[in-house]
Structure 1
Amino acid sequence: MTGAHWAVIGVLAIAAFSIRVVGLIAGGRIRASRHAWVLDELPGLIVVSLVAASLAGQPVQTWIAAGAALGAAVLTNHVIATMIVGVMLYAGLAMVGI
């Protein structure tokens, strides 16, 4: 490997380390501020944004199955039951042709 390759590896290593250090500093400052509640809600917000982004542009049967899965999640608070309801309803709607 040439010196340029090692330089790129070094710069990327420093950048990766810097990103983590900045995250630790920012997280500490947020925890000490009045916006600390955001960190508690962040995992759920990330999941909701991923699900919403994956539903964009999907057919109606996907939205119906997602709605049923949401209902199962609210009623049971059980991940496996939620997945089973969503997948089974999606498969059922696909078999019917909706």
Structure 2
Amino acid sequence: MTGSHWAVIGVLAIAAFSIRVVGLIAGGRIRASRHSWVLDEVPGLIVVCLVAASLAGQPVQTWIGAAAAFGAAVLTNNVIATMIVGVIIYAGLTMNGI
């Protein structure tokens, strides 16, 4: 490898390390502020964002399956039951051609 390759690797390593340090510092400051409650909600917000992004542009069957899974999650508060309900509803709708 040439010197320019090593320079790029070095710059990327410093950037990756810097991002982690800045996140650590920012997280510490947020925990000490009145906005610390936001950190408790981040995992749930990430899941909601991932699901919303996954549903964008999907057919109606997927949305109905997701709605059924959401209903199961609210009623049972059980991950396995939620997945089973969502998959069964989605499979039933797609097998019937709805």
Instruction: State TM-score, norm by structure 2.
Output: 0.97
Q: Distance in 2 between matches of 1:58 and 1:9?
A: 39
Q: Distance in 2 between matches of 1:6 and 1:53?
A: 37
Q: Distance in 1 between matches of 2:16 and 2:57?
A: 34
CA deviations over 1:78-98 (Å, ceiling 9, x no partner): 111111110111000011111
Percentage of pairs with the same residue: 88
2:67 match: 67
Q: Distance in 2 between matches of 1:73 and 1:3?
A: 55
CA deviations over 1:37-94 (Å, ceiling 9, x no partner): 1100001001101111111111111111000000111111111111111011100001
Letter of the structure 2 residue corresponding to residue 11 of structure 1: V
Alignment of 1:34-45 (within 5 A): 34-45=34-45
Gaps of 5+ in 1: none
CA deviations over 1:5-35 (Å, ceiling 9, x no partner): 1111110100000000000000000001111
Gaps of 5+ in 2: none
| Number of aligned residues | 98
Alignment of 1:79-94 (within 5 A): 79-94=79-94
Alignment of 1:13-32 (within 5 A): 13-32=13-32
